[in-house]
Chains A and B, each alone.
Chain A
Amino acid sequence: MKTNFKKIALDGVITSNPTLKLVLGTCPTLALTTAAMNGLGMGAAVTFVLICSNMLISLLRKVIPNQVRIPAFVLIIATFVTITRLALDYFLPDIYESLGIYLPLIVVNCIILARAESFASKNGVIASAADGLFMGIGFTLALTLMGAVRELLGSASIFGIQLWDASKFSIGFFGSAAGAFFTYGVFIALFSLCSSLFKNRKKAKSYKLLKNAELCLETASTDDNKKDGE
């Protein structure tokens, strides 16, 4: 079976972006986008767990009985989250601190279970790893982008670098809980707007091609030519 990596990549990052299109894993998205760095850290942790759990589940997909697959998936995910947590606590204590309670909550992040159920339990190891990687990248990108916007408007800095004096211009609203909901809502709406614009352009392009083809058909007067044109 040949794996279509281009489709997996496009699906994960754009067409079915877990954060902006599928609206999964909303809790960390809302809580950890106060700063771009937090979003990046959370995204990296989720990506790691997603790749590992996808690979292991895909390896074991013929061994795990269908009736107990959900508990088995949860156990696998919980194991990798524990590993991530211990590693982060040891190597990057700053990020461990800032992720706080949301790090153990990766276990119940719907993205990971959804990918395990809908992709890894049906596909090969390499394809599952790729799916985990690109879904993770899509999640990380969305979180980092939202974090950057909220950090920039809320505290006039980006990735912790102060750009201008926060007392001159900053909107505290974007740093608060209400701002998180607002930013997320606007992001989903903008994403849907952009994708529909893109789709319309594509449609217009194919419509133009169709028109050209029709013109060709009209100029070709004989029946034989018509057949070729089709």
Chain B
Amino acid sequence: MDFLVILSTMISALFINNFVVSQFLGICPFLGVSKDTKSAFGMGVAVTFVMTLTCLITYPIYTYILVPLGLEFLEIIVFIFIIAAIVQMIEMALKKFSPTLYNAMGIYLPLITTNCAVLGVAELVIDHEQMAGLIGLANASQMNMGYAVLYGLFAGLGFTLAIVIMSGLREKVARLPINKHLKGFPIAMIAACFIAMAFFVFALI
């Protein structure tokens, strides 16, 4: 693994191709769980954890089992089951070993199965050509599991970054007098619009 590629993976996943504001993945929790910073941060950490684990498991299963058997078309069904199983196992493990962490993170875990950021990252890392473009690899064949897991981790952190910024904005916006038709989702969308504009600058650099 090349140090420069690792660096560009980090910057790309965190800022330039941020999952939420430039690839539109994981918008539902981004709007649904961003009313206060504490729960937004909890959701972000939980999503990051699940995304990293998902990449760690789905990438080898796809490359070493589905592709040799010629069963690529089953990827959607296999991936969604792996994600559901991971989430279920994390929930059980947390309940048993760390009840405090479970109390903090537990309520977000069932929501993560249907979070498109998780299935999105699993689908994205197996598309070698697109990944090579995203993380700045010279050749699509250089893509390997290390980059896939790294991308999963930093895409999750990018999600956390966006949702925490959003929750801060929404906490402020909630105190303003707003027209009743703009309250709730519309004003949140317009706040997200400004975050997206800020992130857009990274693509220009």
Contact = CB atoms under 8 A, between A and B. Distances in A.
Interface centre among B31, B76, B81 (most CB of A within 10 A): B76
A225 interface: no
A148 B192 CA distance: 21
B185 A176 contact: no
Interface in A87-119: 101, 104-105, 107-110, 113
9 contacts: A30-B27, A101-B127, A105-B120, A108-B114, A113-B114, A178-B197, A185-B186, A185-B189, A186-B190
Contact of B26 (A27, A81, A101, A109): A27
A64 interface: no
B181 A189 contact: yes
A179 B73 CA distance: 34
B123 A104 contact: yes
Contacts of A178: 193-194, 196-197, 200
B188 A176 contact: no
B144 interface: no
Given A31-B23, A185-B187, A188-B189, A23 B31 contact: yes
Given A177-B196, A178-B197, A110 B114 contact: yes
A27 B24 contact: yes
The binding surface of chain A is classed by DSSP as helix
Interface string B170-190: 000000000101100111111
A55 interface: no
Interface of A: 23-24, 26-28, 30-31, 71, 74-75, 78-79, 81-82, 85-86, 101, 104-105, 107-110, 113, 176-182, 184-186, 188-190, 192-193, 196
A134 B109 CA distance: 32
Contacts of B185: 23, 185, 188
The binding surface of chain B is classed by DSSP as helix
A85 B115 CA distance: 20
Contacts of B75: 104
A71 B84 contact: yes
A104 B119 contact: yes
Interface centre among B73, B115, B116, B119 (most CB of A within 10 A): B116
Interface string B14-30: 00000001111111100
B40 to A, nearest CB: 17
Contact of A74 (B28, B80, B196): B80
A110 B21 CA distance: 19
B69 interface: no
B138 interface: no
A192 B114 CA distance: 27
A177 B200 contact: yes
Contacts of A110: 28, 114
Contacts of A82: 73-74, 76-77
Contacts of A113: 114
B123 A192 contact: no
A16 to B, nearest CB: 14
